[in-house]
Amino acid sequence: MSAHEHGEHRPGEHGAHHHDGEALTELLDLDGEVLAGYLDQATAWIAAIAQAPVTRVVDLGAGTGTGTFALLRRFPEARVTAVDLAPDRLTRLRHRACELGLDGRVDVVPADLDQPWPDLGLADLVWTSMALHHVADPDQALTRIFGLLRPGGALAVAEITALESFPRFLPAGAESGLEDRLHHLLTHLLGEQVPELGADWAPRLTAAGFDVTGRRTFAVTLTAPLPPQAGRYAQLTLDRLRTGLGDRLDPADQKRLAALVADEGPDSVRHRGDLTVRATRLAWLARRP
């Protein structure tokens, strides 16, 4: 399945089949808005290392376009083909591109990455963010990506670990260490459900024929004043944790989470003055010889 069949992914999306689609789509948009600084850093890193001129880009697992629009900003001469399983998200991406006057630089292609791929043309750069750990056969996917790239073209892989799959929002020790317990439970759950999460992709990239040219950890720490979307981002993310972990949570933590994700109240993350956003992304850059 493609990354976005689970909800890509990105933070807040694992085990999300039963979650409301509109909330998930909103979370994808907020992820791009709140973590825009990370995307700027990541695309600058790619631009500094990539050797070939970048005019054709493929975004695999594009969702609502977080990566697509960051790449369009970074590479002003590029056209991006956004690929995702969910047509409604691609429709949203297309509408956003029109609003920004970028519709002439974006193509959308609905596709399941576990099925035969449509003809995507040759690319100078392939970007795949929080997608490979969901694919049934990542090695096959990397071989297909190799075939998409022109000689000298680059592949950028952005991923997360199970421990860092959700951002953290509360000060250390807040709510009696609630976030530590949540992440501990989630690490065990995702270790069973998504075994590729947190994999070192360098050996697999090499096996697929790539030259690995860089690896980087991006640590995101946002403190007050936060962007206005941060409270809603925290609310949706924690609510996905609350629902996804379900009865694995003890009653006291269920109660704490309910207060945190409420729209109003002294503990609501939408109104807390001590809210932060802390996240980690891992990235690999590889080149087709």
**In the prediction, which pLDDT does 24 show?**
85
The reported pTM is 0.89
Q: How confident is the model at residue 267 (pLDDT cuts 50, 70, 90)?
A: very high
Q: Which two tokens mark 60? A: 């695999």
Domain 3-166+195-223+275-287, CATH: 3.40.50.150
**pLDDT at residue 5, as a whole number:** 33
1: pLDDT confidence band, cut at 50, 70 and 90?
A: very low
pLDDT in tens, 231-248: 999 999 999 999 989 999
Is the model's pLDDT at 11 over the cut of 50?
Answer: no
Q: What is the pLDDT of residues 57-104, one digit of tens each?
A: 999 999 999 999 999 999 999 999 999 999 999 999 999 999 999 999
